[in-house]
Each structure stands twice: as C-alpha cells, then as structure tokens.
Amino acid sequence: MFEFFFKYPLAAYRKGEFLFASGWAVWLLPILALGAAAGLLWHARRARSRLTGPALWGVWALQAGSAAVVLTMAWQPALAIQSLKSQQNAVAVLLDTSQSMSFGAQGVSRLAAASSALSERVLPALSQKFRVRLFGFSGEPERLGSLAPEALPEPGPSTGVGESVLRVLRESTALPLGAVLVVSDGSDNSERFGRDMMSEIRRYNVPVHTIGVGRESIEGDIELAEVSVASRSMPRSRVSAQVTLRHDGTDDRQTRITVRDGPSVLASKAVTLRAGEPVRREWIDFGAGDAGVRNLAFAAEPLPGEEISGNNLRQSVLDVPRRRRRILYVEGEPRWQYKFMRRAVHKDASVQLVSLLRTSTNKFYRQGVDTPEQLEDGFPAEEKELFAYDALIIGSFEAAFFSPKQQVAIREFVSRRGGSLMMLGGRSGLGAGGWQNSEIVDVLPVQLESGPASFLRERAKVELAPQGRDSLVCRLDSDPARNAELWDEMPELADFQLLGELKPAAVTLLSVRRGRAALPLLVRQNYGRGRAAIFATGGSWRWRMGLPSDDERHDTFWRQLLRSLVAGTGGTVRLSSARSSYADESRIDFRVEVRDRDYTLANNAQVTATVTPENGPVATLDLRPSATEPGIYAGEVDAEQPGVYRIETVARLGEERLGADSLHVRREDGVAEYFHPERNGELLARLASQTGGRYWDLDELDGLAGEIRFSEAGITSREVLDLWDMPAVFLLLLLLRGAEWMLRKRWGVV
Amino acid sequence: MAVIRVRRAFWPLVLSLSVAVPLLSALQFWGFRGGDPRAWDFDPDARAEFQFVRYAYGSGRDGERWGRRRGGWRTDWPDAEYHLTNGISRLTMIDTAYGGRFFDPMDEELFDYPWVYAVEVGRWYLDDQEAARLREYLLRGGFLVVDDFHGSYEWAGFASSMNRVFPDRSIVEIPETDPLLHTLYDLDHRTQVPGIQYVWSGTTWEDDGYTPHWRGIYDDSERLMVAINFNMDLGDAWEHADTPEYPESMTALAYRFAVNYVIYAMTH
C-alpha cells in the first residue's frame, strides 16, 4: 500500500537522501510560495463581496496549499539513494532446514511452507535482479542446488541462525553480496548468538532480511523449558531442582513432573499450569543416593494429543563424589545439643564430625578423630591444620579462649580457604562470649549483641522465615504446605540467644517468636570465598526429645544444615563446566581453579585434564592459565559422540601434587530442536533491524525483492528517484482542489 | 485442781511421745521427711543445662509396698543430689542446677530431661505402659542410670521390669574400653562402692552381691542407653560425702563415675 501511494518502498525513504532535482535555488521555493499565497489573498479580498469571514480564509488556505504543492513539484523533489546494480550482485538466501522446521500445522511443515513461498513469490523476483546463492542451514550453512524436497538436507539437530549468517558473510567477502535473506523459525539454540556475534554481523554492513516461519504460540504444548539443579551433591543428600514449565497459557492444564535415575523414580510431583500464567517454576526434591554418577531425567507428562513431546524431557548429570567432608566442632561445655547434633550425623558417611569438647577447665574430650594425635593440643594453632577441615562450628565458647592468631586463622579459613563457619548460641557463645570484639566480627552475618543477658533459657517457638521456605536446609517435606505444617508442630526450643542487627547480605532462614517480634535464629551470609552462619540456640535438642523416636525431623534438619556448610566447600583444585548437559553442541568447555597449599591462587601450576568419553578414545590436555583471571586454567574438548564424559584434572606445582578434581557432563544429540519450537520472531526482527534489513512475515512478502535492491553493500550505483510524480502528490492536489470546490459550492460562490 | 489435771495428762503424754518419736525417726530413716518433696528443692525453677532427675516409679515388686508410697525411689534424696550437683558444677564445665527434680514415669515433662536416675531398682515394678514410656524415652536419646540394688533376688526384680522395657535387648557387661569409663576420668570398674552400711558392718557387699558389676543396655549404634550399677550404692556415696565415717575415697570414686555418666549422656 505504501509503495502504491509513494512509488517506492519505505526503506528507500529511510535510506535515501531527499533533494530537489531541478537545480533551481531552493531558497526561491518558499519565497515564491509565500508570494503566491499573498497574491491569492489579495485576489480573494478583492472578491470580498462574495467571500467573507472564515470562508474567505478557508478558500485562501486551500488555494495557497495547492500553489505550494505545484511549486514544490516544479522544483522536482527526488530521493538520492544507493541501490544494487542489476545482475551484478548476489543475494544469499539461507533456508532453515533444522528439525524444528519439520513441525507444522494442518499437515504442512514449516519447511514446506517456506520452500513454497520462496519458490513461488521470492526467488523469481530476486533472480531477475540478482544472482541468488541458496543455502540450507541448521548448525552450519551448506549450498543448495534447488528447493526441491529431494535436494534439501536431512533435518539438522540444531539451529545456529547467527553462526550461519556469519559464516555466509565470511565466505562471501570476495563476492558482491548485496543482502542476506534468512528464512527460519528463529529457534536459535546454539546459545552463542549474543551481543558479540550480532556486532560481528553488523560489521559486514550487509542488510539481513528475515522471514519468520511457523506459529508464534503452539496450543496444547508443555515445554520443560529449564531444569536448574546442582551438578554435584553429597551422598544421601537431598537435592532440590527448579523446573521451569512453559505452556500457551490459554487454559488450566494438569501435568506431573517425574525425576528418574535410569529406571528408578526418584521423585514425582503433580503440577497445575494456570491459564494466564505461561511460565511456571516448581521445586522438586529428590535424594542424591549413594556415591556415583546419577543420570537424571526430568520429564513432564504430555498433555492429551500434545504434538511435540520431545520438549517434555530434560536430562542432566549429578556427580555424587565419595569424598567425606570434615567438620570441626569446638564446644565450650558439655550440653545436650552437642550430643543430639552428633547423633544426627552419626550415620552420615559423607560428613565426618570431629569434635573438641571442653569438659572441665583444663580437659578436652575428642570425638570423631582419625588418629590419637589429632587435636591433641586443642584447637589448631596453625592455618594449615585448620584448613584441613571443610567447616568449623563454634559452640558455647568465649572468644578470649582463642588466641588472636587463631582468630585470624578462623577468618582466613572462611575468606581464603572457602570454608564455612557456624556459630551456635550458648551461655558463652556469640555476644555472651565477646565475639563482637573478635577478629571474626566481619565474617558474622549479624551485629552481635553483647553481654551474658543475650542468652535466654526460655522456651521459644520456631518459625520458618520466608527465605527458609525455599531453603533445602529447612526442607522437612518437599510439599511446601506440609513443610510449613511440620515446622509449626515442632516443640519449642529449650533456649535461644538474642542477635543484633542483620548485615545487608544476611539471610534469615529460621526465626523465633518472642511476643510480637520474630527474632532471627538461623542466619547466614557469604563472606569471601566461604560462608558464615549463626544458629542462635543450644536448645534444638527438644526437637528430638519432644517428638516420637521414629520422627526424623531433628536429625533431618541437622544433617541438612551441616551438609549445607560443606556442600560448596572445595579443595585446592576445583573443576567446573558451564553446564552439566550439552544438547547438540559438540564442544565441552571447562575451567579449573587452582590454589596452592595456603589456598592462594596458583598461576604457575601444571594442570592436566583427562577426558574420558563413554565411547571413544581418552584425550589428555595440558591446560593454559587464563590471561585475565588469576589461578584459572581453561580447557575445551571436542565431544562429537553423545554420552557421558568424565573429566579429571590434576594440578602440580613442581614436584608437589596440589590436588585433583573430577566431573561428569552429558552430551546429547537431537534434543535442542524440540525446545522453543514456536517462532522466535523477536530474534529475527532484532537481526533484521540491527543490520538494516527488515523482518517479513511469510504471508506478506510483496515488495521484498524491491526492498532488497536498496542496499549499500555489494556493487551499487547512486540513483535519483523522482518523487514529483508519485500518486500521493496528485492525490493531495486533487484533495485540495476538490475541497475548495466543495466549500465554494456549499457557500454558493462557485 | 490444776496439779491433779497435770498428773492425769502426764502418762498419756509420755505414752504418746514414746510412740511418736521412734515412729518419726523410722519415717525419717526411710526418707519420709514430710510434706511435698518438691518443697525440698532449693530452686525448683532453676534453669540450667543439666538437672539431676529421679525416676519416681510408682509401685513395688510382687505387690510389695516399695514404690511411690514407701519412697524407695527417693532413697538418699535429697542430700545425694545436693552433694553431687555441687560436685559436677565444681569439676566440670556443665551448667548444673543445684539440687534435683523427680518425675513420674508417665510424666510428659520427663522428656525435657535427657538424664534420669533410678535407685533401689531391685524392687521396682514397671507396668506395660510405664515400660513402653521408658523405652520411648531411651530411644529418643534419654539416658538412665540405675543404682543401689544388690544380690540375685534384687537383680531378678530389676531385670523383670527392664525386660519389659527392652524385650529384644540384652543387658551386657560394660567393657573397660567403653567411652563411658573415659569421658573425663579414666576409671576401672573393679572397686565396689559400698553403701552406708559399710560404716557399721565393715563389708562392702549386701545380700549375695559380692562382686560389683557395671552393666548396660546399648542401642543399635552401640551407644549406651542404660548404665547399671549392680551390687553398688553410688547414691549412698554421694549422700554421705560429708559423713566422716564414710570413706572419702569411695565418695570420690562415686563422684567420678557420676561425672562420667553425665558427660557420656551429653556426648553419645
């Protein structure tokens, strides 16, 4: 429609430069227009007897407008624009041939619809003016001889829109490439099409036009859009996964999420997807099981008649290393919480609770030690001895018992070593023990209140704080409502301790009710590389003695709390990968953080990685230190074959072995295309607008070939397009004169 | 007239006193000090981590009137509590309440005190309900110390009720390597701690209980739930800590055992 009235596509007006082709002085135009208007006014006033008041001014305005239009036409307005020279430029047409293009509606696939539209409405017009280079692409582009079904490649396992465009641009640098036309559903799943790639595409200055194919919403489809779950867990721990479900949001729908490890069902949960709520996030808990590797499969039950069920499944790998975490618990006085805490983790093979209990003023009782010599001289005097533990718990112990050097070591244990510190309430603990004046005051998540009066032997009801409801530490049941109920039924604590103001980064998981106030009880925060927590009571043992002997709540809470202290604590060598599951990507990248025995980042270590695929040869890599991040060594490995890959890394400093770590990641093929199967118009529109092209709908392709012509890439010529003869101008003149005639007739002055 | 009235009242008064004085003495000997025993707690509301709690079992063996009415459960009370709790406070870091408390076997409040002491258990009797409650107390993590019973007759009485508590668990000798004997003090368990009768009889044993035994009942994780002082009387040793005739060494040993029992209960 625009082109009908204005003779040229809108893009020509956007890109072109407006000018007057007559060569006459432009300043003369407004003078003449003003003169004409004045003359017309003089003429109209002479005929006052016949035209008066508003009629006089109305007729004059219409006549002056007509004169201005005619004068402007006489000056020959035009657009100067660069346009591609006919038959001297190439246009690359990229047709998406990925798996998602096989989805469709009414029995016609997206690929068939796109091929048909290209063949019938686009390519004939393009071929008249340009040399058309036809490509098919999923992961990488490949030349196509024609769009005949037999000439198209097999559906590809992934879509890399950005990569394919970039590849074509790179390969066409020697060609006069005028434009790129991408025909796709936009379901880019390469995860590499970011700002950097877009910038690189823009640098070629070739307009990319995009044609969107497929529906923007698929009715009756559930997609398990994302599963967020830890890549590592301790044996027999609870693991919480956040599952993101997407649906069209038009109606309430019921489904069930199931977590499996091979044939074993680890957890299952019914979920209602509400109308008007297209994205829903659910937490699902399951047991990590014994040490080993869990091949986790998260599945959402398909809806009746669901077209695409391939996006109802996500797979992941969970490493459950056998390593036993060591917690040092120093307690200043025998008390019941000490006993019941020890009992809670007594059978936990993944946690070793080493305790040092001051039984009398000059005697200590040790439990959980490996050798008779361990902790023989009391609390570790040297950093090295303390750093051998993953977490430290300090009970009812006054700060003055610890030397300044030991207090500094505790602070460094958290900040540098990355260990966890938890302090417990007690008559000599926290503020009552003078810790507010110690070296670790910055580590703690609260400003401690001072004085022995802060510890109260009063019964206190525990409440779940808002953040506690989402925390695995406080998860007694996977159902949130039942979890809240279980906490509500908990017996009162035997005592608690008043804490001061929370620090900005502190998070409260549990609180105690005192009158109308909810006082923080379990608080934690990150500090440096580690974490610090306060459990401001010595009276949680009443949860054990006040509930039936077969009730596990007390023990579950303590196990989860102690495991949370050590779960994130690594050794000197920490291996990590960006993801635990790589779908349709043949490259696995990973990084290793290396520290020396003092837990200082080591830049001069020799780090090797051994990658063992499920099927295939073992690869050994020497990793290079990162130029920008100290202590970081990065590596990547080609993983063509799907399956589980085991990555082991060892770091050495000279002859000394600093440490080792290992990790499992999964490689899958034929998965990515089932996710986000609806058309991603937003991505296609962004690609077009960022490069100077235009986003087209498959049903409205008229003018595509004409618009492609106005490109500054390739071999171009400067073209001057006359505007004076465009239909809109004549229509305007007609309207002005017609309006004058209508008014004169109405007023009887024709 | 007034003289005649006094003469008439003299003999009844003498007669009354001659009956009342021996009776009150006997009652005192058996522990009946009169009134509500709770009134003898120096600080019944004392809030401390450790409280000495007596197990106030209610009825005697074979229909004997030995239980709550005759007060067998409170033998040595309250001096044993006063002396021992002072000692625990002095010798350890345990926050200890002075004196003691007692609870009926079916009292829910018993669960708030994970350490309990039962005495003269050779003549106790626990019915099925009480046995089940004690089993639940011990399985939750409570710790029971039994004391002051001697010889085969009293052992049979103790074992009869204890078997009702744990029909599936054996009573075993505590080995010398058990942490119970090493938590604070390294103790051997060959020395028989006698009752106060040693002062006038000169013998350390009673009935046919010649050999002292430290026995126990363990849970599934090899943790002691019940510590059994058989053919001994630690309670007397605590009670008579200030009796000049009672051997100080025996009191010291009894204190040490008690301290180890409490610390063990708070650590295992």
Q: How do the domains of chain B map onto residue ranges?
A: 40-267
Answer whether residue B62 shows pLDDT above 70: no
B90 contact A CB<8A: no
A359 and B114 within 8 Å at the Cβ level: the answer is: no
How does pLDDT run across B20-29, given as a tens digit for each residue? 655 555 554 4
Distance between CA atoms of A472 and A240, rounded to whole angstroms? 7
Which tens digits make up the pLDDT trace of B77-102?
Answer: 999 999 999 999 999 999 999 999 99
- pTM of the prediction? 0.74
Q: Is the pLDDT of residue A60 over 50?
A: yes
Residues B114 and A166: their CA atoms lie apart, in Å, by 73
Judging contacts by C-beta atoms under 8 Å, the chain A residues touching residue B140 are 544-545, 547-549
- Token duo for residue A231: 């890549």
Q: CATH second-level architecture of A223-320?
A: Sandwich (2.60)
For residue B142, the chain A residues in CB contact (below 8 A) are: 545
- B87–A contact, CB cutoff 8 A: no
Per domain, the residue ranges of chain A are 2-83+719-747, 86-216+678-714, 223-320, 325-566, 573-672
The per-residue pLDDT for A709 is 84
Please give the Cα distance from B165 to A288 (Å, whole number): 37
Residue A430: closest CA among A501, A338, A534:
A534
pLDDT beyond 60 at B161: yes
Q: Which residues of A touch B (CB under 8 A)?
A: 332-336, 338-340, 342-343, 346-347, 357-361, 363, 365, 367, 427, 457, 494, 538, 541-542, 544-549
Query: What's residue B24's pLDDT?
Result: 54
Question: What pLDDT is stored for residue A721 in this prediction?
Answer: 87
CA distance B76 to B235: 6
Among A334, A542, A549, select the one facing B266 at the smallest CB separation.
A334
pLDDT at residue number B2: 44
| Rounded average pLDDT over B175-194 | 93
pLDDT at B117 over 60: yes
Q: Which of B91, B141, B268 lies at the smallest CB-CB distance from A544?
A: B141
Q: Are B91 and B183 in contact (CB under 8 A)?
A: no
Closest of B148, B127, B157, B153 to residue B61, by C-alpha: B157
Q: What is the DSSP annotation of B13-57?
A: HHHHHHHHHHHHHHHHHTT---S-GGGG-S-TT---SEEEEEE--
In angstroms, what separates the C-alpha of B17 from chain A's closest C-alpha?
Answer: 49
Q: What is the mean pLDDT of residues A646-661?
A: 94
Q: Is the pLDDT of residue B63 over 70?
A: no
Predicted pLDDT of residue B238: 97
Find the CB nearest B183 among A346, A365, A541. Answer: A365
Check: CB of residue A298 under 8 Å from CB of residue A313. Answer: yes
Give the count of Cβ contacts less than 8 A between chain A and B. Answer: 80
Nearest to B94 among A334, A367, A547 (CB): A334
CATH 3.40.50.300 holds for B40-267: no
Q: Which CATH architecture has domain A573-672?
A: Sandwich (2.60)
Contacts of A36 (CB under 8 A, 6+ apart): A64, A67, A68, A71
Whether residue A750 is predicted with pLDDT greater than 70 in this model: the reply is no
Identify the CATH homologous superfamily for domain A86-216+678-714.
von Willebrand factor, type A domain (3.40.50.410)
Instruction: Find the mean pLDDT for residues B119-129.
Output: 94
At residue A635, the pLDDT reads 92
Q: By C-alpha distance, which of A224, A187, A316, A192 is closest to A579?
A: A316
The per-residue pLDDT for B22 is 59
Optimal mutation site among A355, A360, A459, interface B, most CBs of chain B within 10 A: A360
pLDDT digits 0-9 by tens, A219-233: 888 999 889 888 888
**Which CA distances in Å does A210 have to A293, A684, A689?**
44, 6, 10
pLDDT on residue A139 = 77
Indicate if the pLDDT at residue A704 is higher than 90.
no
Across the interface, whether the CB atoms of B141 and A343 are under 8 A apart is answered yes
**Rounded distance between C-alpha atoms, residue A424 and residue A523, angstroms:** 11
Give contacts of B50 with chain A, Cβ < 8 Å: 334
- Quote the CA–CA distance of A231 and A666 in Å, as a whole number: 11
Give me the architecture of the A325-566 domain, per CATH.
3-Layer(aba) Sandwich (3.40)
Cross-chain residue pair A333–B94, CB shorter than 8 Å = yes
Q: Cis before residue B78, ω within 30 degrees of 0?
A: yes
The most distant pair of C-alpha atoms in chain B lies apart, rounded to whole Å, by: 82
Q: Which residue has the higher pLDDT, A86 or A385?
A: A385
Share of chain B above pLDDT 70, in %: 78
* Local confidence band at B42 (pLDDT 50, 70, 90 cut-offs): very low
Q: pLDDT (tens digit, 9 = 90+) per residue, A367-426?
A: 999 999 999 999 999 999 999 999 999 999 999 999 999 999 999 999 999 999 999 999
pLDDT by residue (tens digit) across A628-642? 999 999 999 988 889
Which residue of A330, A331, A336 to mutate against B (max B Cβ within 10 Å)?
A: A336
Q: Which residues of A touch B91 (CB under 8 A)?
A: 360
On chain A, the residues whose CB falls within 8 A of the CB of B267 are 334, 338-339, 342, 357, 365, 367
Q: What average pLDDT score do residues A528-552 get?
A: 97
Helix (H, G, I), strand (E, B) or coil at A7: coil
Cα–Cα distance measured from residue A115 to residue A123, given in angstroms and rounded to the nearest whole number: 10
Burial status of residue A91 (CB atoms within 10 A of its CB: 0-12, 13-18, 19 or more): buried
Instruction: In whole angstroms, give the CA distance from residue B58 to residue B40.
Output: 20
Q: Cβ contact (<8 Å) for A363 and B95?
A: no
Whole-Å CA distances, A741 to A253, A679, A728, A734, A750: 64, 53, 20, 10, 7
Partners of A545 on chain B (C-beta within 8 Å) are 111-112, 114, 140-142
User: Cis omega before residue A207 (within 30°)?
Assistant: no
Chain A positions in Cβ-Cβ contact with residue B265 (cut-off 8 Å): 339
Check B140 against A547: CB less than 8 A apart. Answer: yes
What is the distance in angstroms between the CA of the first residue and the CA of the last residue of chain A? 35
Q: pLDDT (tens digit, 9 = 90+) per residue, A177-234?
A: 999 999 999 988 877 788 899 999 999 999 999 999 998 888 888 999 889 888 888 8
3-class secondary structure, A608 = strand
Chain B positions in Cβ-Cβ contact with residue A337 (cut-off 8 Å): none
Residue B43 has pLDDT above 80, yes or no: no
> A150-154, A267-271, B61-65: lowest mean pLDDT where?
B61-65
Partner residue opposite B184 with nearest CB, options A339, A360, A545: A360
- Is-same-fold flag (A223-320; A573-672)? yes
Mean of pLDDT over chain B:
87
Instruction: Please state the rounded mean pLDDT for residues A292-306.
Output: 92
Q: Do B184 and A544 touch (CB under 8 A)?
A: no
Q: B91 vs A360: CB contact, 8 Å cut-off?
A: yes
Nearest CB to B263; choose among A334, A427, A494: A334
**Residues 165-194, chain B, touching A (beta carbon < 8 A):** 183-184
Distance CA A492, CA A490 (A): 6
Q: How much is the pLDDT for B127?
A: 93
Measured in whole angstroms, the distance separating CA A286 from the mean position of its chain's CA atoms is: 24
A236 vs B147, more confident: B147
Cβ contact (<8 Å) for A357 and B267? yes
Q: pLDDT band at residue A4, thresholds of 50, 70 and 90? A: confident
The closest of B180, B182, B184, B162 to B171, measured between CA atoms, is B162
CB contact under 8 A, A365 and B136: no
Pairwise CA distance, residues A428 & B174, whole Å:
34
Token pair, residue A407, equals: 């207090």
Closest alpha carbon within chain B to A367:
B267
Give the percent of chain A with pLDDT over 70. 99
pLDDT given at position B6: 53
Mutate to test the interface with A, among B95, B143, B259 (most CBs of A within 10 A): B95
- Give the model's pLDDT for residue B69: 52
Q: Which stretches of chain B are assigned E, i.e. beta strand?
A: 50-55, 59-60, 96-103, 115-119, 124-125, 143-149, 172-173, 213-218, 224-230
Confidence of residue B34 (pLDDT cuts 50, 70, 90): very low
CB A568 within 8 A of CB A391: no
Best-predicted range by mean pLDDT (A627-631, A634-638, A671-675, B161-165): B161-165
pLDDT of residue B235: 97
* Mean pLDDT value of segment A334-339: 98
Burial class for A671, CB neighbours closer than 10 Å (0-12, 13-18, 19+): buried
B46 touches chain A (CB under 8 A): no
**Mean pLDDT (chain A, rounded):** 91
Q: How far apart are the first and last CA of chain B?
A: 77
